[in-house]
Structures are given as C-alpha cells and as structure tokens.
Amino acid sequence: MNPADTRARSGAQLLVDSLLVHGADMAFGVPGESYLAVLDALHDVEDRFRFVICRQEGGAANMADAYGKLTGRPGLCFVTRGPGATNASLGIHTAHQDSTPVILFIGQVGSDVVEREAFQEMDYRRMFGQMAKWVAQIDRADRVPEYVSHAYHTAVSGRPGPVVLALPEDMQTDMATVPDTGRYQRVAANPGGSDMRKLREMLSQAERPMVILGGGGWSRDACEDLRAFVTAYNLPVGCAYRCQDLIDNRDPHYVGDVAVGLNPKLAERFKTCDLLLVVGARLGEWTTVNYTLFDIPRLKQKFVHVHPGAEELGRVYQGDLLINSGMPEFAVAARALEPIKPRWDAWTKGARADLEAWQRPVEVPGKVNMSVVMEFLRGRLPRDAIITNGAGNFSLWAHRFYHYGPFRTQLAPTSGAMGYGVPAAVAAKLVHPDRTVIAFSGDGDFLMTGQELATAAQYDLKILFVVVNNGMYGTIRMHQEREFPGRVSGTQLKNPDFAALARAYGLHGEIVETTADFETAFERAQFAKTAALIEVRIDPEAINPRTTLSAIRAEALKSKPPPS
Ligand SMILES: Cc1ncc(C[n+]2csc(CCOP(=O)(O)OP(=O)(O)O)c2C)c(N)n1
Ligand SMILES: [Mg+2]
C-alpha cells in the first residue's frame, strides 16, 4: 500500500491496492468469470471498499457516472467482456458527453487466446475509441499501478471524461513485485492574467451581457466563486441543458435553462445581448437550440468562451476571447476581478422577472398537472434534495418548474440517454445517505433500467421513484405528430402496473391520478420504511408545458395533409 511496498502481489491485488491509493471507496458492477481474481482481491478490502452489485451493466455504468458527477472523483465500474462491456457502453457515452470522470474496468480474455475471437472477446480500443479519453489493456501485472495512475489523471484532468481499462485474465493472477504510485493530482489550465484583464475590459464596455454556465469539472467551491463574481457584476446567468444546479435557482441572477423548450423571452435576450460569456458549456446542439441561437462561425455579439478542453475552443463558434481553463481555476480568478459599476441592472432584473413568470404553473389537460406537482415539490423538498432523470418529455416539467438547489442537486444526462434516472438515484443515495433523492422517469424511460429497483432494495436505499406514465414514448410521438401527423407508429406502450412492480421488489408503491393525490401519496412515501414508487398517470394530451398533442397534430395537418 505504500511506495516502499515490495511484497509480491497479483495483478488483481495491485489493481485493488492502486484504487485504494487513489482514494476510491466504491465501485459499481456486475460480476463475470473474466475478473474473478479482482472480485477475490476486493474480498480482502470489504471493510474499506464497497462493491455495489447491480442488475445490468448499463445501470452500473450510469451509477459510476453519477458517482463521478457527485464527488468529482472517477466513478468506477467493473464489467465482464463482450456482453458486459457492450451493456456498459451506454454509461461511457453519457460520461463522454457530460465530461464526467469514470473508469470502466473490463475483464478480458487471457493472452494465450487473444485475437482468436475467443469467447466474448472484443478489442475495446476499437469499440470505445470515440467514447473514451483513453482506452488501454494492461498486459503486464508489474505495470498495473502505472496504468491505474494514468487512468485517474486522464479521467479528471483537462476536460474530464471516461477511461476504459481491459484486464486480461492471466494478467490478473500474474505476480509482480512493484511499489504503488502516489495519489493522483488533477491537472487543469489556469486563465492568464491578460485573459482576465481583457474579460474585465470587455465587461466594462458591455451594456447587455449574458452568461451561460455548463459542462463538467465544476465543484461546490467553483460554483460559489462563480456566484460571487456574477453577484459583484450583477450578471444574468442561464444554465446549459441539464446543468441547472451550477447556480442555486433561487439566486436573483439565475434566469433559466438554455435548452429545448427555451423560454422565448430568454431566447430573445440571448439573441440581442451584446456580450456572451460562456463558462464550461460546449455550446452544443441543445444549448444553442439546434445551432440557431447564435450566428456561426462569428456571433453578432462579443463572445468569450471559457472551456477546460483547448480543442473545444473555436470549434463551431469563433470567439473574441477564448480561455482554456479549469472551472475552479477560472471561478477563483473571476471572483478576484475588481468589480466595475454594472450598467445593466434593469436588464438583469428583467431577465429574472421573465423567468419567474415562466415558472408559474400552466393549465394542462387532465387531472394531474405536473407543473403544480413541481410547485408543490419546490415548497416541500429540502434545498439539497437531489433530483435525477433520464430522457423524455416528462423531464421538461422538472427542468422548467422545479427550483434546483446548489451544486449537485441535479443529475441528468446531457446525452439524452433514457434510463439514467433510476441508477443515478441509487448512486446518489449511496454517496449521500442523508439527502432526499427523487428519480423522475417516464414510462418508457423507467423500464430501460428499472431493474435497478432491486439494487435500491438490496442496499436499503430510501429513494422516491416517480414514474410519469402517459402510455407512450411521448417525445417520439410528439415529433411524429409534427412530421407525420395522425400516423401513430412504433410509439404506443402497454405498461405494467408500476406500483405493483415496486411492491414485487419489496418497495412501497402507489398510483396517483390527480394532483391532490400526488401530495398525499408523497407524504405517505416519506413515512415508508423502504424506497417508494409513485406512478403518476397523466393525460397523454399533456405532452409538454406549452401545448397539447392534438394541437401539434392539428397544426401539422395544415401543412402536411395525410396521404389519400
Ligand atoms: C436509450 C435511448 N433510446 C431511445 C431514445 C429516443 N427517445 C428519446 S425520448 C423517448 C421516449 C421517452 O418516453 P417516456 O420515457 O415514456 O417519456 P415521455 O416522452 O413519454 O414523457 C425515446 C424513445 C433515447 N433518447 N435514449
Ligand atoms: Mg411516456
């Protein structure tokens, strides 16, 4: 365990010791015969290291992603070769798009049979090439500490992201006498003094500045520093898609999320601002509303882009000031900037007033109004409650009407991967047993990873699962009605009784069919001794907060009559 350690250890023991050196305390996985020696080495450290047994590798990898987001340390995932690795790829893609530090360990066929297409053999370098920051195979036990150390450095440094390490079976049992490495250090760029002076200068010339926060690599302190900066400069701050917890939503500087379903008034402010400061966000398809919000390649407004990955700067949008910096490093420097007298107090106040109007509950068809449910939850949940979700229109209600609290009260995939909410909630409750954790899922979304209810039950995790059931893959149906009105195809769902399903897992389960019933069901769930699931049956017409399914169809039929 220390640099002077010169005992002979197996590759598997070296791996587990290396994880401990780097401060790991937990991993998520599904076992496989391809890494029995690692499982055995984990047996020796059960008092210090928890191996969370999952039901599907997609769930395990999503849990590792959520762990990485919550702690800033790499989330660890162990899976078997071929089928295990392919299942886990879902979470690696999410970690890539979300810039989350994750390390995936895959049991690999032995070197005696490699390249014969042996049982479940795959070349992970080719498979994960585009999804991971680094993919490697550790062929020699004596180099395990080096590979693991490099994996840690790579996962957390620069633009954070996932790393994949394959572990050939024979390497795991080979013996080697090598010392451990020291603990990893995160490496990040700092903004230059001239960058910060130029930023201040540009702000001093601005009249209608706007800020977008987003991306990975943030920390609680970085968010606090950034908040001090935007407070001193009285800047209006939008958060990129699913990064809404980078500033407490009750802060008067928060003006809304910049994503699908963007508040038209906020969109207008972005279009007419004269200085755009983007910190950490990639300015991807959703944050720019399909690349329509800003001109490509040069914006009309002055543009400052701060990003931890140098390769991202200038990629689509050319900037007036491009700053390669880690988020904490930039936030500290921004906080230290000498304030100016802002000339845009009314602009910031107006943007905030637009948000407050936008977040008032709306009328919807049917007996359950999800905007009112969210209003109820924002009054009822502690500020540090963690809200998770996967993909589907059901998530729009939380994104628009819930007031996310401080850093890491939101866990949601910017990759738009369905099935993230349930496993992310499991990881969140394991990392923060004292915090309230609620997973929002759609009926389609839930069944992608719903088997991880068994993991919640196994580890006795009191999570609240809310399944918003509209009997369809609603998002796709919405697009279908827009593009091919009246021609429903491939989107209808016949669902199980979700509440009964939860009870089958030993959890508390209820069905809710009115807004008022949600409130009482929520109170009962609070008192349940186990995790609870509330299935909320909503009217399929209530497709999103802005319109109804029939209205979308009627509108589309005007320009696209059905084929005769
Ligand atoms: C893993 C994955 N598969 C497919 C999709 C495409 N997709 C996006 S939303 C959606 C439907 C979601 O349905 P549901 O969870 O019931 O939510 P709703 O839109 O009905 O509220 C689908 C199929 C996706 N984003 N991710
Ligand atoms: Mg649905």
pTM: 0.97
Alpha helices in 157-296 (DSSP H): 169-173, 193-205, 220-233, 264-272
Instruction: Provide the pLDDT for residue 3.
Output: 55
Amino acid code (one letter) for 386: I
Mutation probe of ligand 1 site: the residue of 92, 400, 475 with most atoms within 8 A of C-beta:
475
Q: Which residues contact 188 (CB under 8 A, 6 or more apart)?
A: 157, 158, 217, 308, 325, 326, 328, 329
Beta bridge partners of 318: 298
> 397: Cβ below 6 Å to ligand 1?
no
User: What is the distance between the alpha carbons of residues 307 and 325, in angstroms, rounded to a whole number?
Assistant: 6
Respond yes or no on whether the N-terminal peptide bond of residue 328 is cis (omega within 30° of 0). no
User: What is the distance between the alpha carbons of residues 109 and 196, in angstroms, rounded to a whole number?
Assistant: 51
User: What is the distance between the alpha carbons of residues 53 and 261, in angstroms, rounded to a whole number?
Assistant: 37
> 418: Cβ below 6 Å to ligand 1?
yes
Distance from Cα 414 to the centre of ligand 1, integer Å:
13
Distance from Cα 301 to the centre of ligand 1, integer Å:
35
> 472: Cβ below 6 Å to ligand 1?
yes
Count Cβ atoms below 10 Å from residue 60 Cβ, excluding itself.
33
For 153-190, give one letter per residue: b (16+ CB within 10 A) or e. Answer: bbbbbbbbbbbbbbbbbbbbebebebebbeebebebbb
> 469: Cβ below 6 Å to ligand 1?
no
Ligand 1 atom having least distance to the Cα of 493 = 16
User: What is the distance between the alpha carbons of residues 57 and 63, in angstroms, rounded to a whole number?
Assistant: 10
Q: Is the dihedral of CA 381, 419, 134, 44 positive or negative?
A: positive
Ligand 1 atom having least distance to the Cα of 395 = 21
User: What is the distance between the alpha carbons of residues 418 and 53, in angstroms, rounded to a whole number?
Assistant: 21
Among protein residues, the one with the nearest Cα to ligand 1's atom 4 is: 418
> 414: Cβ below 6 Å to ligand 1?
no
Instruction: Provide the pLDDT for residue 162.
Output: 98
CA angle (437 as vertex; 513, 31 as ends), nearest 5 = 110
The answer to whether 416 touches 405, Cβ cutoff 8 Å, is no
Where does residue 211 rank: exposed (0-12), middle (13-18), buried (19+ CB within 10 A)?
A: buried
Alpha helices in 392-473 (DSSP H): 394-401, 421-431, 443-449, 453-458
> 280: Cβ below 6 Å to ligand 1?
no
> 392: Cβ below 6 Å to ligand 1?
yes
Distance from Cα 63 to the centre of ligand 2, integer Å:
23
Six-digit token pair at 412?
């949601």
Distance from Cα 474 to the centre of ligand 2, integer Å:
5
327-375 pLDDT, tens digit per residue, is 999 999 999 999 999 999 999 999 999 999 999 999 999 999 999 999 9
Give phi and psi for 203, each to the nearest 5.
-65, -35
| Residue-averaged pLDDT of the chain | 97
Ligand 1 atom having least distance to the Cα of 470 = 20
202-257 pLDDT, tens digit per residue, is 999 999 999 999 999 999 999 999 999 999 999 999 999 999 999 999 999 999 99
Six-digit token pair at 269?
């402010």
Low-confidence ranges of the chain (pLDDT < 50): 1
User: What is the distance between the alpha carbons of residues 483 and 498, in angstroms, rounded to a whole number?
Assistant: 31
Instruction: Provide the pLDDT for residue 53.
Output: 98
Beta-strand runs (E) in 11-141: 26-29, 50-53, 75-79, 102-108, 134-137
Ligand 1 atom having least distance to the Cα of 468 = 21
Judged by its nearest atom, the ligand closest to the C-alpha of residue 491 is 1
Distance from Cα 441 to the centre of ligand 1, integer Å:
10
Write the DSSP string, 143-183.
GHHHHHHHHHHHHHSSS--EEEEEEEHHHHH-EE-------
Distance from Cα 423 to the centre of ligand 2, integer Å:
18
Instruction: Provide the pLDDT for residue 5.
Output: 64
User: What is the distance between the alpha carbons of residues 125 and 372, in angstroms, rounded to a whole number?
Assistant: 48
Among protein residues, the one with the nearest Cα to ligand 1's atom 3 is: 418
Mutation probe of ligand 1 site: the residue of 473, 481, 495 with most atoms within 8 A of C-beta:
473
> 417: Cβ below 6 Å to ligand 1?
yes
User: What is the distance between the alpha carbons of residues 559 and 71, in angstroms, rounded to a whole number?
Assistant: 50
User: What is the distance between the alpha carbons of residues 214 and 285, in angstroms, rounded to a whole number?
Assistant: 13
Give phi and psi for 360, each to the nearest 5.
-70, 140
516-543 pLDDT, tens digit per residue, is 999 999 999 999 999 999 999 999 999 9
User: What is the distance between the alpha carbons of residues 497 and 494, in angstroms, rounded to a whole number?
Assistant: 10
Instruction: Provide the pLDDT for residue 6.
Output: 73
> 58: Cβ below 6 Å to ligand 1?
no
Instruction: Provide the pLDDT for residue 562.
Output: 72
Cα 378 versus chain centre, distance: 21
Instruction: Provide the pLDDT for residue 321.
Output: 98
